[in-house]
Amino acid sequence: MTRTHCPYCALQCAMHVEPAPGGRWAARPADFPVNRGGLCRKGWTAAELLTHPDRLTAPLLRTDRTAELRPVDWDTALDHVAGRLRALRADHGPDAVGVFGSGGLTNEKSYLLGKFARLALGTSRIDYNGRFCMSSATAAGNRAFGLDRGLPFPVTDLSGAETVLLAGANPAETMPPLMGHLSAPRLIVVDPRRTATAQAALDAGGIHLAPRPGTDTALALGLLHAARAQGLADEDYIRARTTGFETAWEQAVPWWPEHAEQVTGVGAHLVRDAARALGEAARGQGAYVLTGRGAEQHAKGTDTASAWINLALALGLPGRRGSGYGCLTGQGNGQGGREHGQKADQLPGYRKITDPAAREQVAAVWGVDPADIPGPGISAYELLEALGAPGGPRALLVFGSNPAVSAPAAARVRDRLAATDLLVVADFVLSETAALADVVLPVAQWAEEEGTMTNLEGRVLRRRKALDPPPGVRTDLEVIAGLAARLGRPAREFPADAGTVLAELRAATAGAPADYSGITPERLEAGEALHWPAPAGRTPGGPPAPATPRLFLEGFAHPDGRARFTPVAHRPPAEQPGEGFPLVLTTGRTMGHYQSGAQTRRIGELAEAEPGAWVEVHPDTAAEHGLSARGWARLTSRRGTMLARVRLRRTARRDTVFAPFHYGGAQTANDLTNPALDPVSRMPEFKVAAVRIEPAPPPAPEAAPHPARSTGPTGGSR
């Protein structure tokens, strides 16, 4: 029995992995403060994929796009990839090769992938799917606090609060064990849908605010207005610990609750009630404001996250024990994945790639001249959009991601992937992206490898190996090392051993904002709670220097120690419903599936529970558009179409439909979503797309999502 952590979301529930009858493996919950002995159904069933017949166990290669992928040996596959990369770089320069990473990769993989891109490939063109996840909250957190860590406090602190506001987060479905920490506080849930979390809030005497999609900024401004108008702003805190309040307040002045009601559709009385509940809790037992993707995945997501942070600052929450602001990170290593260099503008330790001192420090650890490290690249969607275009990458290496399903305007992205000269995908199943590739490299899964993950509270965790990968499978680190060697880099620069990579990562992050230098294998093994920054060194004559479970208690990370208010104004979504597209589509996750579903759609219990895409529609809206319960509907936006079964819900908004994004083929919700980008975070507008909906015949069998035990191409990212 091996103690490790769940392969899926950022809660990183602890689990034991153990052999089960019939050569299979099973996952069982383990005691850990975050999950307190609980797992969701995804965690319980995670081990099923370890022995799944869909596992890839040999590299696949095709020499032209009209040919079938055929099994080859590793040397043939890696020699082919390295040869093509060398030729493309010689003909078109190093930026002709792009790299697309993932918030699901371990810290060690994220680190080595960033180093591989910059040194072995010499390219600036690296970004990752975390750009589609937490980047707006990251940008807002950095500008407000000078540092971004999803939750700057342990998740266990939440249960002591009197009130928690959840803006655009649905943990009752996406990370159910988190609800155990939210059972005592009164919940205020901001979501256009009556989600399971919103219903739980209402059932327990909380509040559900259901704004029109894309009006969250106005709602946050209305709450700030209502809180101060009721005398609940913490003026002493604002004076002592922040700057910029007056200019931010000027933006909130016009947003009296009746004005907010006109724009958001949320009743003025509810705005006042919510502001009072939060403000009184701030003065009482404590309050938290937490944001999720619903608030952040917009072309104005950074400003919306800033609006929620402004509210939290005005109430005096951040940097106080028992209160705070946080972002609920989504992907398993969404936190660590954004800290160690696979983001276009970052070097390890959350260092800025444009900072000369940061470049020097990292270059010294890498043993290169700072000038050898390329400058900033372009964001994830821009990278995908540029594939095969003049001046854009002609080759793409994908690790742990499936942009053919998970990127916005996914049909367009599939066209761009097809426009490359070389597409290489490392994955353990044949995802939609892998099915388009020239070379597919079969890699190990979570329970077959060592490494570290950083959960949503910035706590670094040990991922332990429970079993060997199947014969023919290599780890991502071995793949990177093998390619780097073939590109002429010395073996010592790209070790394939996770412990060696962690040692280098610790050195590269020493003194950085996300300092991992004190995170030793021994401390991890001992189960110490190591939230970064965790600097190396010892207390005088005593134990190792402490890690940092709670940030900002003494001051914020700006030079003057004060948090920054950011003046933000409401602006409408990039695309409004209108003629031809009268409804708003918003998308999200469900209980049974994870991201684009490569893993969860193959797991029998999960696939049976939620076998295909569905669309949630109000009965009146359904009647108006000729839809019937459980019938099929075609949704169409300006970018594409999808098919989904109709689910009628009386609690749905009449102007909005909802579809999960876990499915591929004809049921790909992201074929409809809008790639309009946030000007700061470069986050696409996943949450608002203008659509029309109409009855449709059932999808053809080949267009349906693949069954759990298919041996053909299926969908989803890791």
Select the residue interacting with ligand SF4 from 4, 17, 25, 43 (CB under 6 A): 43
Distance of CA 596 to the CA centre of its chain: 12
Q: In this chain, which residue has its C-beta nearest to ligand SF4?
A: 43
Look-up of token digits 């499978």: 473
Q: List 694's β-bridge partners, or say none.
A: 634
Q: Rounded to whole angstroms, how far apart are CA atoms 138 and 145?
A: 10
Q: Rounded to whole angstroms, how far apart are CA atoms 506 and 491?
A: 19
The least distance separating ligand SF4 from the CB of residue 6, rounded to whole angstroms, comes to: 3
Q: Is there a contact between 330 and 293 (Cβ–Cβ < 8 Å)?
A: yes
Select the residue interacting with ligand SF4 from 4, 9, 146, 627 (CB under 6 A): 9
Q: Is there a contact between 613 and 643 (Cβ–Cβ < 8 Å)?
A: yes
Q: Tell me the per-residue interface mask from 167 to 186 with ligand SF4, x by CB under 6 A, - otherwise.
A: --------xxx---------
What is the size of the binding site for ligand SF4 (CB under 6 A)?
14
Is residue 12 at the binding interface for ligand SF4, with CB under 6 A as the rule? Answer: yes
Is residue 40 at the binding interface for ligand SF4, with CB under 6 A as the rule? Answer: yes
State which residue, 215 or 329, has the beta carbon closest to ligand SF4. 329
CA distances from 499 to 106, 479, 502, 522, 687 (A): 12, 16, 5, 11, 39
Select the residue interacting with ligand SF4 from 4, 8, 627, 635 (CB under 6 A): 8
Three-state DSSP state, 83: helix
Select the residue interacting with ligand SF4 from 6, 164, 277, 347 (CB under 6 A): 6
The least distance separating ligand SF4 from the CB of residue 4, rounded to whole angstroms, comes to: 11
Is residue 32 at the binding interface for ligand SF4, with CB under 6 A as the rule? Answer: no
State which residue, 12 or 673, has the beta carbon closest to ligand SF4. 12
Q: Rounded to whole angstroms, how far apart are CA atoms 423 and 445?
A: 21
Q: Rounded to whole angstroms, how far apart are CA atoms 276 and 272?
A: 6
Judged by CB under 6 A, which stretch of 1-9, 347-355, 424-432, 627-635 contacts ligand SF4? 1-9
Look-up of token digits 């110490």: 528
The least distance separating ligand SF4 from the CB of residue 117, rounded to whole angstroms, comes to: 28
Look-up of token digits 């689910």: 647
The least distance separating ligand SF4 from the CB of residue 50, rounded to whole angstroms, comes to: 15
State which residue, 40 or 158, has the beta carbon closest to ligand SF4. 40
Q: List 186's β-bridge partners, or say none.
A: 163
Select the residue interacting with ligand SF4 from 4, 25, 42, 681 (CB under 6 A): 42
The least distance separating ligand SF4 from the CB of residue 175, rounded to whole angstroms, comes to: 4
Q: Dump the DSSP string for 438-482.
A: SEEEEB--GGGS-EEEE-TTSBEEEE---SPPPTT-B-HHHHHHH
Residues in the chain, overall count: 718
**Chain residues 304-343 in contact with ligand SF4, contact rule CB under 6 A:** none
Look-up of token digits 């001051």: 555
Is residue 11 at the binding interface for ligand SF4, with CB under 6 A as the rule? Answer: yes
Q: Tell me the per-residue interface mask from 439 to 478 with ligand SF4, x by CB under 6 A, - otherwise.
A: ----------------------------------------
Angle (CA) 55 59 65, round 5°: 110
Q: Is there a contact between 204 and 186 (Cβ–Cβ < 8 Å)?
A: yes
Is 459 exposed, middle or buried, given 0-12, 13-18 or 19+ CB atoms closer than 10 A? buried
Q: List 690's β-bridge partners, or say none.
A: 584
State which residue, 166 or 315, has the beta carbon closest to ligand SF4. 166
Q: Dump the DSSP string for 404-422.
A: HHHSSSHHHHHHHHHTSSE
Q: Rounded to whole angstroms, how far apart are CA atoms 153 and 162?
A: 16
Q: Rounded to whole angstroms, how far apart are CA atoms 366 and 528?
A: 29
The least distance separating ligand SF4 from the CB of residue 334, rounded to whole angstroms, comes to: 11
The least distance separating ligand SF4 from the CB of residue 12, rounded to whole angstroms, comes to: 5
Judged by CB under 6 A, which stretch of 11-19, 81-89, 295-303, 341-349 contacts ligand SF4? 11-19
Going by C-alpha positions, the residue among 80, 77, 119 that lies closest to residue 488 is 119
State which residue, 217 or 333, has the beta carbon closest to ligand SF4. 333
Q: Is there a contact between 458 and 338 (Cβ–Cβ < 8 Å)?
A: no
The least distance separating ligand SF4 from the CB of residue 13, rounded to whole angstroms, comes to: 3
The least distance separating ligand SF4 from the CB of residue 183, rounded to whole angstroms, comes to: 15
Pairing of strands 632-636, 641-648: antiparallel
- DSSP code, position 643: E
State which residue, 39 or 140, has the beta carbon closest to ligand SF4. 39
The least distance separating ligand SF4 from the CB of residue 613, rounded to whole angstroms, comes to: 20
Is residue 242 at the binding interface for ligand SF4, with CB under 6 A as the rule? Answer: no
Judged by CB under 6 A, which stretch of 3-11, 16-24, 250-258, 531-539 contacts ligand SF4? 3-11
The least distance separating ligand SF4 from the CB of residue 11, rounded to whole angstroms, comes to: 4
Number of Cβ within a 10 Å radius of residue 183: 11
Judged by CB under 6 A, which stretch of 10-18, 56-64, 182-190, 511-519 contacts ligand SF4? 10-18
State which residue, 27 or 201, has the beta carbon closest to ligand SF4. 27
Judged by CB under 6 A, which stretch of 35-43, 47-55, 189-197, 457-465 contacts ligand SF4? 35-43
State which residue, 11 or 198, has the beta carbon closest to ligand SF4. 11
The least distance separating ligand SF4 from the CB of residue 494, rounded to whole angstroms, comes to: 30
Q: Is there a contact between 172 and 179 (Cβ–Cβ < 8 Å)?
A: yes
The contact set with ligand SF4 (CB under 6 A) reads: 6, 8-9, 11-13, 35, 39-40, 42-43, 175-177
